[in-house]
Structure 1
Amino acid sequence: MSEVIEYKCPACGAPLYYDINKKSMSCHYCNNVYDLEYIRRHFDEVTAEKQSDFDWVERTKYVFEPFEIEQLEGFNCPSCGGNIVTKASTATAKCPFCQHDVVISSDFSGDIRPDKVIPFRVESAEFADKYKAYVSDIRFIPKIFKDRSVLDRIVGCYVPVWEYSCICDSYIGSSYFGTATLKEFPILANENFIGKDVLYTLWPYNFRAAQEFTESCMTGFYASRYTIGAQHAMKSVDSEMKRIGSLRATYNLESKRPPKDDYSLYKFSEVKTNEVIYNRKLTYYLVPMWVMNIQHKNKKYTFAMNGQTGAMRIDKLPTTPLYGHIKPLVFLILLLLEIIFELIVYKVRGISFIDMLIPLTSSLLVFSILNYIIAGVVNDVLLRKTAKKLDVINNQNYFEVYDFVK
């Protein structure tokens, strides 16, 4: 296969794109629709470049992949011949000259080819509608977050993810003291575009709906390959699995001791355990995600949606200087109006300033309490929805290895 491939309509030669609703490749010009199986055959996509017994875990024994430093690569557009420059881990691109979408097939070939892909099932319009509905009734946030032009920044992405499973047996001496089983723990395989917090919030994905990998459904979307290799992905999780196994073994040891055992001879932190990890299974997926980044005052705010389920991830929005000062501002306005009203009343009655000073002060003290209550009510009415939406703690989802351990 060539390093760069462009999918063109077999009937008219126009560029094809992946139609989310039809779950097929479609042509804007002649309206022909082609299912992915036909595309695989017609474009000679190699769907079985890996050996039938290929195993990511075994591969790590003879292929060492360090964390990669992003570099730039250049390719020639197969349509117009123009020069396309991308980051080394970027697997799709748009030609800056003819605007055609291409797939950098060399990032998906051989034994680095993904095992499965979950195609998009939710369109960007749904993401745009949910975002607009979310920010529509939020007050006192920078205008850029309500500007309709920010919706042009929505990008459809295929994110590389490792799914890891293993079993960890724990021993104290030669005695078996328990098993910890990890099942389908997700590991973000490229952190250059999004962070773990974004992926975790949009989790889970339905992996039963995953399909055999095909480059064609990447067309028109941003896609990247992994930069965190299988060995490094497993290493970080294995160390945590051993810690969990050690804690479980020590707990089991404590629970088996007779009530009158001399606990002074044993200390929880001094028990030496030995962990053995086996039945490792690693699967390489590309998962769909709609992402929109908004830059404001040198800070990036990320909003995202699961491209399969429609689950949203909302970033904590910044506020304008006025937010948080509504209550004291309303209080001061009411106090000023009260002073003006009292001065007018006393002037109409012909009372001198010296004579009105004491009763005016007493009156203001009494009405200040009422004004404070009114200011609080106004603040709550104006900011109730805003304060609730700005508190996005419930929208964030964080999990650790132990959340997937049985």
Structure 2
Amino acid sequence: MADTSVSYKCPKCGAPLTFLPGHNHVTCEFCDAKISIAEMDALYAQKEEQAAQAAEKAEEKEAQWNTENAGSAWDGAETAHMMIQTCSSCGAELVSDGNTMATQCAYCGSPNMIPRRFDGMLRPDYVIPFKKTKEDAIAALKEFYKGKKLLPKAFRDENRIKEIQSMYVPFWLFDAQVSASMDFSAETRSRRDTADEIITETSHYRCERSGEMTFRGIPVDASKRLDDKYMDSIEPFDYSELRPFSAAYFTGHLADKFDVDVKESLPRADTRLTASVIHALSKTVSGYDSTAPSGSSKIRKQSGDVRYAMMPVWILTTNYQGKPYTFMMNGQTGKFVGADLPKDTFKEYVYPLIPSALVFAVLFWLGRLMFNL
């Protein structure tokens, strides 16, 4: 016959409880709370009921992401004047209308772009049109360079700046309806001074939070060549400006072909969904000096749909001394992100010496002046 042991914990702070002989209550070893046996029975009966309900819910099948309706097939008339330009260096494939040529690869900076007929690309569901112009992007890049005194002149060259290109970047947008529950530990602290000592009193709480949430447009970029850190940094996009896709939006711009399909993107979508749920529940735990998640969160997806969309990005990748440097700007909001900039080694060596040289020159001049008096 199997033995079953039950660990009773303090409902206030979670520490172990102890039954002292001769008493009709249990005592918390940590916060000194005293709880009657009747209260403990009622509390754990409630816990057992909640656990049973949770087990029933866990047995219910969680909804899976519906990936079947993301994107669609192209109309032949739409693609008649479109072409694909392939980078011979890194293999990137950029889509454009017949009149727009990539001066260089947006990802590696290579000028070797080979054109061919358009094929094999899913038609997007939505697009956010460009609002920021090339002049806006150049101004943002110059502002980013501003004050960087050690930046090599050749890197700052105007010709490099003008090579910045507009490109639509593929994204999978995940919509979900979820139910979630999570426990948090919280503390309040108070301090009082006496004649002999300073007393700090800490109260511990366990906070339970649960609810249903709807998320629209959790973004996951669909390009392997785009650094996720860059794309996360130029978010968010304003989804109120999503438009039903038309090939006319590609006119005068490049567009990246996705090379991360929707099923490959599911783990990242789930990670971002979980982080969003925890953040939303955490914001409801207020009025304490400190809070932290305790235990695992329970998140159940009730429905999940996926849309395929194109987002506007200004991008420049420039090579300097064999190393690529990438800069991006959100083509809708103007949010800018750039790489760590190179340094001119000569300037890096000489500039720190200038103040010393000036001080030496002044002292030398004063010395000559004093000598001549």
Matched, 1:317 2:341: yes
SS across alignment from 1:90:
strand
Instruction: State the TM-score, normalizing by the size of structure 2.
Output: 0.53
Matched, 1:185 2:198: no
Question: Which of 224, 243, 247 is matched with 1:215 structurally?
Answer: 247
- Between the aligned residues of both structures, percent identity stands at 18
Query: 1:341/1:272 Cα in 2 relative to 1: closer, same or farther (>3 Å)?
Result: closer
8 A Cα contact 1:91 1:103, kept in partner: no
SS across alignment from 1:161:
strand
For 1:249 and 1:309, locate their aligned partners in 2 and report how far apart those are by CA, in whole Å.
Answer: 28
Question: Which of 49, 53, 66 is matched with 1:58 structurally?
Answer: 66
Residue-by-residue CA offset, 1:97-131 (whole Å, 9 max, x unaligned) = 9x9x98965344xxx32110122222212222343
The aligned amino acid for 2:367 is E
Q: Which has the higher contact order (CA 8 A, sep 6+)?
A: 2
Matched, 1:224 2:256: yes
Unpaired segments of 5 or more residues in structure 1?
A: 1-55, 62-76, 253-267, 350-406
For 2:99 and 2:350, locate their aligned partners in 1 and report how far apart those are by CA, in whole Å.
Answer: 49
Matched, 1:201 2:214: no
Question: Across the two proteins, how many residue pairs are aligned to each other?
Answer: 254
Question: Which of 136, 142, 148 is matched with 2:152 structurally?
Answer: 142
Pairs within 5 Å for 1:293-304: 293-304=317-328
Point out the structure with the larger helix share: 1
For 2:324 and 2:163, locate their aligned partners in 1 and report how far apart those are by CA, in whole Å.
Answer: 13
Question: Which of 111, 119, 136 is matched with 2:129 structurally?
Answer: 119
For 1:189 and 1:287, locate their aligned partners in 2 and report how far apart those are by CA, in whole Å.
Answer: 11
Question: Which of 301, 320, 323 is matched with 1:277 structurally?
Answer: 301
Question: Which of 342, 353, 375 is matched with 2:367 structurally?
Answer: 342
8 A Cα contact 1:115 1:284, kept in partner: yes
Query: 1:238/1:129 Cα in 2 relative to 1: closer, same or farther (>3 Å)?
Result: closer
SS across alignment from 1:198:
helix
Query: 1:118/1:241 Cα in 2 relative to 1: closer, same or farther (>3 Å)?
Result: closer
Name the counterpart of 1:52: none
8 A Cα contact 2:85 2:116, kept in partner: no
For 2:68 and 2:84, locate their aligned partners in 1 and report how far apart those are by CA, in whole Å.
Answer: 35
For 2:94 and 2:353, locate their aligned partners in 1 and report how far apart those are by CA, in whole Å.
Answer: 51
Name the counterpart of 2:267: 235
Pairs within 5 Å for 1:71-86: none
SS across alignment from 2:259:
coil
SS across alignment from 2:66:
helix
8 A Cα contact 2:222 2:260, kept in partner: yes
Instruction: State the TM-score, normalizing by the size of structure 1.
Output: 0.50
Query: 1:151/1:326 Cα in 2 relative to 1: closer, same or farther (>3 Å)?
Result: closer
Point out the structure with the larger strand share: 2
Name the counterpart of 1:92: 96
Name the counterpart of 1:288: 312
For 1:163 and 1:333, locate their aligned partners in 2 and report how far apart those are by CA, in whole Å.
Answer: 59
The aligned amino acid for 2:310 is L
Query: 1:169/1:133 Cα in 2 relative to 1: closer, same or farther (>3 Å)?
Result: closer
Per the TM alignment, residue 199 of structure 1 is displaced from its structure 2 partner at its CA by: 2.2
The aligned amino acid for 1:309 is T
8 A Cα contact 2:172 2:307, kept in partner: yes
Per the TM alignment, residue 195 of structure 1 is displaced from its structure 2 partner at its CA by: 1.9
8 A Cα contact 2:85 2:94, kept in partner: no
Per the TM alignment, residue 149 of structure 1 is displaced from its structure 2 partner at its CA by: 0.8
Query: 1:167/1:212 Cα in 2 relative to 1: closer, same or farther (>3 Å)?
Result: closer
